[in-house]
Chains A and B, each alone.
Chain A
Amino acid sequence: MEFASSDGPGALPTGVKILIAGGFGVGKTTMVGTVSEIAPLQTEEVITATSEGVDDLTGVAAKTTTTVAMDFGRVTLSADLVLYLFGTPGQNRFWFMWDELALGAIGAVVLADTRRLEDSFPAVDYFEHRGTSFVVAVNRFDGAWDYAPSDVRFALDLAPDVPILMCDARSLESTKNVLIALLNHTMTTHPHALH
């Protein structure tokens, strides 16, 4: 199937992307690596951000230049369709200023650790505000407490239609299930997500 007109020779596939977001150390790069056909690569961008009321630099112009690095992987879905999975930078509070990441994305997976649910707040806020389709996937680590999905929904203040799944980011089947849930959610609720 041909998806896009191109100024190229017609042999070029179309790229699509899904974001994997969440706090530092929650397993984003693990999930990317689980489905990627290449070892996850890292790319970076230099972002100039104007911070308001965050950094009190006592009169110094509140402009911050920061480097945002992120890992990504590649999955060839068919001869003319390549999926890229981008793990949003977890440590950096400026990652959401890289709007190019979210632009045109099919949707996002917010990975959550029930021991540190608050780490998921920025990603949930960002995707809600931006209108990006997303699902929440609770990555279960050894020793993690069990919570019912309704508890997670309440704690994250999620809308009733946002899917919540349990997952193991190390498992291909589990990660596939998360991505399938995201695709189903996007097709149901965000038919025009790509614009």
Chain B
Amino acid sequence: MPGPEESWWDVDAGPIVRPFARTGGRTRPSRDEFNLITLIIAVPTDGVPRGLEPEHLVILRMCTGAPLSVAEISARLDLPVTVTKVLLGDLLDMGAVHTRAPIALAEAPEIHLLQAVLDGIRKL
């Protein structure tokens, strides 16, 4: 019999709760519009939206006031990017977040965008 201080599990066995348990087993977001650098901001609201999991609420708190990218949210949640996208898809479906499309979808002339990036880097 293991002593009271011994655990039956160890780190090498991997996480006890698999990441996709947080998403109800879903591995694809409801919408295919999240890139690593899609920017997310919470929609200001007075109350807490209903039907949210704890991870949803954590995301909304992170993205209140200042936008974060999908990559940053994933890193701060310590969850894989794919899992994060599923959770963000839920929030988008219920209108709890706004998103900014990644630049691949931008309609502005690219040379202007590249010039703005170049100008910004020069000023660092």
Which residues of chain A have a CB within 8 Å of any CB of chain B?
A: 1-9, 11-17, 35, 41-46, 67, 72, 74-75, 77-78, 81-84, 86, 100-101, 103-104, 106, 172, 176, 179-180, 183-184, 186-187, 191-195
Whether B81 and A172, one on each chain, are in contact in the complex, defined by CB atoms closer than 8 angstroms, is no
Interface 9-mer from B4-12, B46-54, B105-113: B105-113
List 9 A-B residue pairs with CB atoms under 8 Å apart, sorted by A's residue number: A4-B105, A4-B108, A41-B72, A77-B117, A77-B119, A78-B120, A103-B35, A104-B102, A106-B117
**CB < 8 Å neighbour of A176 from B36, B75, B101, B122:** B122
A50 and B110 alpha carbons, distance in the complex (Å)? 36
Known contacts A8-B99, A83-B117, A86-B36; A3/B106 CB under 8 A: yes
Partner of B39, one of A14, A75, A192, A193: A14
**A46 and B69 contact, Cβ closer than 8 Å, known pairs A4-B106, A16-B103, A194-B104:** no
B56 sits at the interface (CB 8 A): no
Q: Are A176 and B121 in contact (CB under 8 A)?
A: yes
| Inter-chain contact A77/B121, CB cutoff 8 Å | yes
User: Taking the nearest CB of chain A, how far is it from the CB of B70, in angstroms?
Assistant: 9
Which residue of A12, A14, A183, A193 is within 8 Å of B121 (Cβ)? Answer: A183
Which of the listed residues B19, B113, B122 has the most CB atoms from chain A within 10 Å of its own CB?
A: B113
Q: Nearest residue in A to B110 (C-beta to C-beta)?
A: A194
Once A8-B41, A106-B114, A192-B110 are accepted as A-B contacts, the answer to whether A46 and B100 lie under 8 Å apart by CB is no
Distance from A95 Cβ to chain B, minimum over Cβ atoms (Å): 13
B58 within 8 A of A: no
* Residues of B contacting A193 in the complex (Cβ-Cβ under 8 angstroms): 110
* In contact, A104 and B35 (Cβ under 8 angstroms): yes
Interface centre among A43, A86, A183 (most CB of B within 10 A): A43
* Least CB distance, B114 to chain A, in whole angstroms: 5
B38, closest chain A residue (CB): A15
Inter-subunit contact B36/A46 (CB<8 Å): no
CB-CB under 8 A from A16, the residues of chain B are 37, 103, 113, 117
With A and B bound together, what is the CA distance between A2 and B107 in angstroms? 10
A106: chain B residues within 8 A (beta carbon): 114, 117
Q: At the interface, yes or no: B30 with Cβ under 8 Å from chain A?
A: no
Is A194 in contact with B117, judged by CB distance below 8 angstroms? no
